Amino acid sequence: MPQRASPEQPFRIAIVGSGPAGFYTTEHLLKRLGEAVEIDLFERLPAPFGLVRFGVAPDHQKIKSATRAFERIGAHQAVRFYGNVELGTHLSVDELHRFYHAACFATGAESDRAMGIPGEALRGSHPATEFVAWYNGHPHHGEREFDLSAERVAVVGVGNVAVDVARILCRLPEELERTDIAEYALEALRASRVREVYVLGRRGPAQAAFTTPEIKELGELPGADIMVPRAEAEPDPLSREDVAASDDRALQRKLEILRSYADRAPTGKSRRLVLRFLVSPVELVDDGSGRVGAIRLVRNELYRAGDGTLRARAMDRVEEIPVGLVLRSVGYRGRSLPGVPFDDARGLIPNSCGRVVDLSTGGVIPGFYTSGWIKRGPTGVIGTNKPDAGETVDCMVEDLLAGRGWTPEEPDPQAVDRLIRDREPQVVTFDDWMRLDEIERSRGEALGRPRVKFTSAREVARALGRIWGD
Ligand code: NAP
C-alpha cells in the first residue's frame, strides 16, 4: 500500500557505514524526503568518514576536505551518528526491521585481494591496504609492524593505491611531519632505511590504472629520483594500436610523462623510485628465516583476448630483485556482513541499481539497499560515490512511497537508542566527534600539522573524559 511519510511520522532509515557512500546516501535522502525522513548512521569505528579518514593519503589533505560537506550532513537534526556500533555485534539485521523502514549497507571494501603465489604468507609480505590503514591511524591496524629496515621494497600493482604507498615510502620525514599521518607511523618512517621502491605493473604503461596527476606527482618528489627502464616506458605494438585509435588525451599525457621519466638521469636524491612494466611476481623468496628476501618476477607480453582487451602472458625470462618488504596493491575487496547477501566471487553485495538481490532467486529483497564500493566494487574516486548513492536513494524512495519498505514495530527513535546504549555504553555521537575533531586539530596546530589523530577507541574514550574499564 502506498505510504506517505510526514514530519510527524517520518520514514526511519538505518545506514551502515559512515564513509563517503554512507554520507552521500544520507545527503540524497535528506534532499529527496526533507522533513519526512530520519536517519541513523552506524559506524563500527569511533570516528566517521571511512576511506576519507583512513584511506586517502595523509599528504593529500585537499581530498580530505570532502569531510566539510559530511560535517554539515552529520550535524543535521534528522541525522544521528552512532560510532563504535557494529552491525552483528550491537545490532542484528533482524533487529533493524523492528526500528526502521529500510536499511542501506555502505560498508566499503575493507579487505584486499591476494596474488595467489608461493611465499605470499612470508613475514615482510603484506597487503598495501593494511599499510595504508596503519599509516592513517585506523584503530584496528595500529599494532601492525612493517619492517622499514629493509633497503628495498616492492609494491605490486600500478593503481593509485600503489602510487600512494610508494609515495609515502619515498617522502622525507620533514614532508610527512606536515601531514596528519599517525604519530607511530611518522616515528617508524623517520627511522626508515628504505632507499629503493619498485612499483610493478603486470601489463604495459598504456594499461596502468594510476591516473595522470598521481603519476606526475611521483616525478616531483623532493627526496626521490624516479626512473622507468626505457624499453618498458614504451607501449608495445598492440597498445600503440589502441592508443592511436582512441582520443584519450589523459592516457596520451600519462604516456608522455612516463616516457619523460625514462629520459631522466638520477639527480642524487637519497631515494629511488623505479616503475616497472610487463613483469609479474611468481614467487616471494624466503631469506632462510621465514622472511621475504627477494621477489621473483617473470617477464610478460601482451596479447589480445577474445573480449578485445590486452592481457598479460608470461614469457620464459625470470629475474629476481632482492627486497625485504613486499606490499601487494592489487585491489580492495568487500567483506560480507552478517545477515546480508554477499557475492563471494565478486566481493560485493549483489544488487540491482542499489536494491539488494537474493543471489539464489535473483529477486529483490524488500527494505535492503546498498551503496558505494560494497555495491559496485572498489573503483572510482570519492566523488564517484555521490551519483552512485543517488541511484540507490532513487530506488529507495520509489519503494518507500509505494509501500515496499518494512513496517517497524518500534518506530520511536528512543527505542533503538536505548537498546544500543544498553549494549555499547561507549557510543560516539556526532557531537562527540566534533569535540574530538577540535581536539585533534588543536593538537596538530601546535606542531604545524593539520591534526594529530586519535588512533584507538581507548584514546577516544579518554579524550571524551569517559572512564574506560581495563
Ligand atoms: P586499481 O586501480 O584497480 O589497481 C589495481 C592494480 O593491481 C592494477 O594495476 C592491476 O593490474 C593490478 N593487479 C591486479 N591483480 C594483479 C596481480 N595478480 N598481479 C599483479 N598486478 C595485479 O585499484 P587500487 O589501486 O586499489 O585503487 C582502487 C580505487 O581507488 C581506484 O579507483 C583508484 O583510482 C582509487 N584511488 C584514487 C586515489 C586518488 O585519486 N588519488 C588514491 C587511491 C585510490 P591490471 O590492470 O593488469 O589488472
Q: What is the pLDDT of residues 261-274, one digit of tens each?
A: 998 999 999 999 99
The number of the ligand 1 atom at minimal distance from the alpha carbon of 311 is 47
What was the pLDDT predicted at 470?
47
Q: Amino acid identity, residue 135? A: Y
C-alpha angle with apex 468: 463 to 470, nearest 5 degrees? 135
Probe target for ligand 1 pocket from 115, 130, 165, 381, with the most ligand atoms within 8 Å of CB: 381
The fraction of the chain above a pLDDT of 90, given in percent, is: 95
- Ligand 1: which residue has its CA nearest to atom 26? 331
C-alpha angle with apex 75: 74 to 80, nearest 5 degrees? 65
Whether ligand 1 lies within 6 angstroms of the CB of 149 is answered as no
What was the pLDDT predicted at 143?
87
- Check if the beta carbon of residue 244 is closer than 8 Å to that of residue 236: no
Whether ligand 1 lies within 6 angstroms of the CB of 129 is answered as no
Q: How many CA atoms lie within 13 A of 23 on its CB side?
A: 23
Whether ligand 1 lies within 6 angstroms of the CB of 46 is answered as no
Return the closest-CA partner of residue 81 out of 37, 48, 33, 52: 48
295 Cα to the center of ligand 1, angstroms: 20
- Check if the beta carbon of residue 449 is closer than 8 Å to that of residue 178: yes
CB atoms within 10 A of CB 428: 25
Which residues fall within 8 angstroms of residue 26, CB to CB, at 6 or more apart? 15, 39, 41, 73, 76, 79
Which residues fall within 8 angstroms of residue 137, CB to CB, at 6 or more apart? 54, 180, 181, 182, 183, 185, 453, 454, 455
CB atoms within 10 A of CB 370: 32
The number of the ligand 1 atom at minimal distance from the alpha carbon of 203 is 47
What are the beta bridge partners of residue 205? none
142 Cα to the center of ligand 1, angstroms: 24
What was the pLDDT predicted at 245?
93
Q: Per the structure block, which three cell numbers stand in for 445?
A: 596546530
Which residues fall within 8 angstroms of residue 324, CB to CB, at 6 or more apart? 124, 147, 149, 150, 151, 152, 153, 287, 291, 292, 293
210 Cα to the center of ligand 1, angstroms: 7
376 Cα to the center of ligand 1, angstroms: 15
Asked whether the predicted pLDDT for residue 331 surpasses 60, the reply is yes
397 Cα to the center of ligand 1, angstroms: 34
Whether ligand 1 lies within 6 angstroms of the CB of 381 is answered as yes
The number of the ligand 1 atom at minimal distance from the alpha carbon of 129 is 26
pLDDT 10s digits, 359-398: 999 999 999 999 999 999 999 999 999 999 999 999 999 9
pLDDT 10s digits, 342-360: 999 999 999 999 999 999 9
What's the CA gap between 378 and 370, in Å, rounded?
14
What's the CA gap between 255 and 262, in Å, rounded?
11
Return the closest-CA partner of residue 93 out of 389, 439, 356: 356
Whether ligand 1 lies within 6 angstroms of the CB of 135 is answered as no
Whether ligand 1 lies within 6 angstroms of the CB of 161 is answered as yes
Probe target for ligand 1 pocket from 56, 112, 161, with the most ligand atoms within 8 Å of CB: 161
pLDDT 10s digits, 161-190: 999 999 999 999 999 999 999 999 999 999
Q: Sign of torsion, CA 144 348 305 262?
A: negative
pLDDT 10s digits, 282-330: 999 999 999 999 999 999 999 999 999 999 999 999 999 999 999 999 9
Q: Per the structure block, which three cell numbers stand in for 347?
A: 566481493
Q: Model confidence at 422, in pLDDT bands (50, 70, 90)? A: very high
pLDDT 10s digits, 202-256: 999 999 999 999 999 999 999 999 999 999 999 999 999 999 999 999 999 999 9
- Ligand 1: which residue has its CA nearest to atom 40? 381
Q: State how far the alpha carbon of 356 is from the alpha carbons of 19, 95, 380, in Å.
A: 19, 18, 21
What's the CA gap between 279 and 228, in Å, rounded?
13
30 Cα to the center of ligand 1, angstroms: 33
The number of the ligand 1 atom at minimal distance from the alpha carbon of 379 is 32
Residues written for the chain: 470
What was the pLDDT predicted at 466?
86
Q: Are strands 37-43 and 79-83 parallel, antiparallel or unpaired?
A: parallel
- Check if the beta carbon of residue 108 is closer than 8 Å to that of residue 372: yes
Probe target for ligand 1 pocket from 158, 212, 283, with the most ligand atoms within 8 Å of CB: 158
160 Cα to the center of ligand 1, angstroms: 6
Whether ligand 1 lies within 6 angstroms of the CB of 380 is answered as yes
Probe target for ligand 1 pocket from 132, 136, 160, 282, with the most ligand atoms within 8 Å of CB: 160
pTM value surpassing 0.85: yes
Probe target for ligand 1 pocket from 110, 202, 296, with the most ligand atoms within 8 Å of CB: 202
Asked whether the predicted pLDDT for residue 4 surpasses 80, the reply is no
Whether ligand 1 lies within 6 angstroms of the CB of 189 is answered as no
Q: What is the mean pLDDT of the chain?
A: 96
